[in-house]
Structure 1
Amino acid sequence: MTPTPTATLVARDWAEIQERMLVPLYEAVYDRLEVGPGDRVLGLDCGAGLSLLLAAGRGARVTGVERRPALRALARERVLEVLSAAPEPAARPYDVLTAFSPEPRLLSAALAGVRRGGAVVLADWGPAERCTVPGAPAPADLDGLAAGAGLRPDGSGRVFCPFGYADLESAVRGLLSTGLYELSDPAQAEKELAEELHPFERADGSVWLPNIFRYVIARTE
């Protein structure tokens, strides 16, 4: 499937503006798991692949799954192995599976490829009162999702992930690339989001949105 021009523009805004906002979350998870040489990491809904690049920079062998063609194309431009669906179990299973904003069906399909005792990381928005992004969804029940998938709990954590933008235009473009907003009328969506962001503008024109994200680590049985 060839990405539409609109989808490609939105994907590029994600890759160029928004994706880096989650680096503190990615790094906190990799630090905690001590991801490094010899580890095999599978990233679900990996977007344009920044989380995979960070793991690869630590020496891990990485594979991603991204169902949106425009984002998958950008990840492949970064010379990453990114699939459209969960891979079939291989001779050597994965050591770490990450699902930043987990989708139960995709998670279930991917678990067969993780070694026994391997780490499964689920992450999502933190408490609503600790997130300032307009329209941020209620946090997923990560503990319930892990239990429902038959995983053994092995810890959790919270990470401060502020969304900072040089100006209001960048903030609007970055946030609209997240998929949180209805884009059937892009001009109206931009106008409404810009109005909601005005309280977060600083004197120099930059926009600052403090947020907390939460992650759960579980183990396969």
Structure 2
Amino acid sequence: MASAHGTVQAPDTEPGLVTPRAGARARDWAEIQERMLVPLYEAVHERLEVGPATSLLGLGCRSGLALLLAAARGAQVAGVEPREELRELARARGLRVGAVGAGPLPAPPTAHALVTVFDPSRLCADPRRTVREAARLTLPGGQVVLAGWGPPERCESAAVLEVARRRSGPRPAPDPFALSRPGALEELLATAGLRPAGSGRVSCPFAYPDLESAVRGLLSTGCYDAAIGYSGEVPVTKEVIEALHPFTHSDGTVRMTNVFRYLLADRPRRPGPR
């Protein structure tokens, strides 16, 4: 499907606290954590038959692995990512990734057949604005994909992510499971004028060769940024290690089973002239 090209923008962002280890965290995401979500990315691409006819925009694409997988299928891809250190890694992979703008533009500079938002809460304090922007950047008749964590009772990593909440101080850390409750993603679609077109659940185990890799990978997600900013890296790391003990095997490997959910939506075509 066709697309117009231009400078990609997205809603204003609250990317979290920038720590002195921001560059290292970004590399840990790209080298350790990002691949944990490959089953989710591939399930979405397979379900939507992503290929040479697809123009795809990834909002909040991080270091761009999902875009690389789509490009390998022949799709034309571009991304938007608020964190400079992650944008640089994506661009080093040969991807076209822009920064997030100061706010929504009066008219869409770019439109795509498919817009993916693999973490609607990450780009903006109000995920409804992110989804409205995704709809705005989608061609009429195109599709939007929202995805995120499944129910916490189906995700063993929930116990480890709880450390971020406990250590974040008086300003609560964003809840990674806020949109996992029944109907939450559907409500976001309704506010953006999008029509639900299917959904799915995907198993995404978090598996690491050792405890050090597990800690580095989890801290790279951004979920712990507020906790580290408030409590310090050493106490947070210590609690994460303790929380990982039930999932650490005798050979030193770490594995947690998790479920992620995705929701597909259509942007209705504009009615033709009478």
| TM score, norm. by length of structure 1 | 0.94
- Letter of the structure 1 residue corresponding to residue 244 of structure 2: L
The answer (yes or no) to whether the contact 2:63–2:87 under 8 Å persists in 1 is yes
Deviations 1:157-186 (A, max 9, x none): 000000000000000000000111122211
Contact 1:128-1:139 at 8 Å conserved across structures: no
- Cα deviation for residue 104 of structure 1 reads 2.7
> How high is the TM-score relative to the length of structure 2?
0.76
- For 2:240 and 2:20, the matched residues in 1 are separated by 22
Within-5 A mapping of 1:35-114: 35-85=50-100, 89-90=108-109, 93-102=111-120, 103-114=127-138
5+ residue gaps, structure 1:
none
Q: SS where residue 188 of structure 2 aligns?
A: helix
Q: Which residue of structure 1 lines up, in the alignment, with residue 248 of structure 2?
A: 201
SS at match of 2:78: strand
Which residue of the other structure, out of 13, 22, 27, is the alignment partner of 2:37? Answer: 22
Instruction: Report the identity percentage.
Output: 55
Map 1:200-219 → 2, pairs under 5 A: 200-219=247-266
Count of residue pairs brought into register by the alignment: 218
**Cα distance in 2, alignment partners of residues 104 and 55 from structure 1:** 25
2:217 is aligned with 1:174: yes
**Structure with more of its chain in strand, by fraction:** 1
Runs ≥4 in structure 1, deviation > 4 angstroms?
A: none
Distance apart, 1:89 and its partner CA:
2.9
Q: CA deviation at 1:149?
A: 1.1
Output the aligned Cα RMSD.
Answer: 1.7
Question: For the Cα contact (< 8 Å) 1:154–1:217, is it kept in 2?
Answer: yes
Distance across 1 between alignment mates of 2:239 and 2:112: 43
Query: Residue by residue, what CA displacement relative to the aligned partner does 1:90-142 show, whole Å, maximum 9, x if unpaired?
Result: 57x31101000113323322322211121100001001110011126324111
Shift of 1:4: 6.8
Distance 2:84 2:19 in 1: 9
Contact 1:65–1:84 (Cα < 8 Å) also in 2: yes
Does 2:156 align with 1:138? no
Query: Is the CA contact (8 Å cut-off) linking 1:126 and 1:139 kept in structure 2?
Result: no
User: Aligned equivalents of 1:175 and 1:128: distance in 2?
Assistant: 16
SS in 2 for 1:172: helix
Q: Distance in 2 between matches of 1:104 and 1:66?
A: 18
The residue matched to 2:32 in structure 1 has which SS?
helix
Gaps of 5+ in 2: 1-17, 121-126, 163-175, 269-274
Could you say if the C-alpha distance between residues 61 and 80 of structure 1 is closer, same or farther in structure 2, counting changes exceeding 3 Å?
same
2:146 paired with 1:127: no
